Amino acid sequence: MTRNQLKGDFKMKKAMLATLSIITLCSLCLAGTVSAAKAGYSLGNFQGTDITANGVIGAGEWTDSFGDWLYDGWTKTTSTIHTKFEMGGTPNIADQFLIEVLSDTTNDPGDIFTYSFCGQQDNAATPQAADDILINYTRSATAIYRGTGTGWAPDAAIVLGTNVIVGSSMASGHWIIELKFDKTGAIAGTAFNSNVRLAVYDASTGKTLMWPPMSNANVPNDWGLLDYLTFAGQSVPEDLTIGVMVLLSSVAAVVSTRYFRKRQRI
């Protein structure tokens, strides 16, 4: 083998080693960014203004929120959810949700909105007494439940209108729901980051739309992550973690080594 062939073989091995290193770092970074109970599904929860949970979207009320879609099975729909949290309102700290069901244009008594909450993110297979809560809202009543370890039971300690505020209307021609959920610690088991599920049942079509997709209100480890990104309302993008920054630094080092080093004499 000639000297030039040896040098070419050495360069190829270096390139392969660099590629394998980058692939390894990518794998580590991707593994670290999956934090939702249902892998791949999370809602960013920024700090925003306080809202009035009456089912009517006030001017500017939701312009500072994070949005996503509801799903019909695995199919993304045009119906949406928005999230943010407030400090200094009523309750003093609260998660706030807006649900717009564009496909529901009829005011049916059998329509149901369901909010499932896991405060400690323990990812259990059944509702736990310590931290799992279920809110069932219909057009005429709201029922609040806590896990028992195997199912649900009414929880009188969570007060409608104080710890949980729900309002809905058809004022915009489709079903709009607004929810405020107390995060001051008054509800046992609450924590900042949590796993949640939101779903709406339309009695006129028989369809249930939900987030995350193909999830079950009775299976906490099937819910998605509600992620408090920052108290300032701004954040480094969710996927720009330390691992990703290490990856970008490594790519930069490889690129600089490959393309910006001084060419050697032959």
91 preceded by a cis bond (ω within 30 of 0): yes
Q: What is the pLDDT of residue 10?
A: 52
pLDDT at 34 exceeding the cut of 50: no
What are the b/e assignments for 88-103, b being 16+ CB within 10 Å? Answer: eeebebbbbbbbbbbb
Question: How is residue 221 annotated by DSSP?
Answer: G
Q: What is the pLDDT, as a whole number, of residue 22?
A: 45
Answer for the pair 28, 245: CB distance below 8 angstroms, yes or no: no
Among 76, 9, 37, 96, smallest CA distance to 224 is for: 37
* CB neighbours of residue 25 within 10 Å: 18
Whether the pLDDT of residue 258 is over 90: the answer is: no
pLDDT in the model for residue 39: 85
Question: So what's the pLDDT on residue 230?
Answer: 54
Topology of domain 42-230, CATH? Immunoglobulin-like (2.60.40)
Read off the pLDDT of residues 47-61 as tens digits, 9 standing for 90 and up: 999 999 999 999 999
Residue 3 scores a pLDDT above 80: no
29/197 Cα distance (integer angstroms) = 26
Q: Give the chain's mean pLDDT.
A: 81
pLDDT digits (tens, 9 = 90+) for 135-164: 999 999 999 999 999 999 999 999 999 999
Token pair in block for residue 59? 């001017």
Q: Which of 1-10, 123-132, 195-204 shows the lowest mean pLDDT across its residues?
A: 1-10
CB 96 within 8 A of CB 48: yes
Contact residues for 219 (Cβ-Cβ < 8 A; gap 6+): 125, 126
Domain ranges of the chain: 42-230
pLDDT for 123 equals 83
pLDDT tens string 236-250: 333 333 233 334 334
pLDDT at 24 over 50: no
Contact status, residue 98 vs residue 176, Cβ threshold 8 Å: yes
What is the number of other CB atoms lying within 10 angstroms of the CB of residue 238?
12
pLDDT single digits (tens) 174-220: 999 999 999 999 999 998 899 999 999 999 999 999 999 999 999 99
Three-state SS annotation for 123-185: CCCCCCCCCEEEEEEECCCEEEEEECCCCEEECCCCCECCCEEEEEECCCCCEEEEEEEECCC
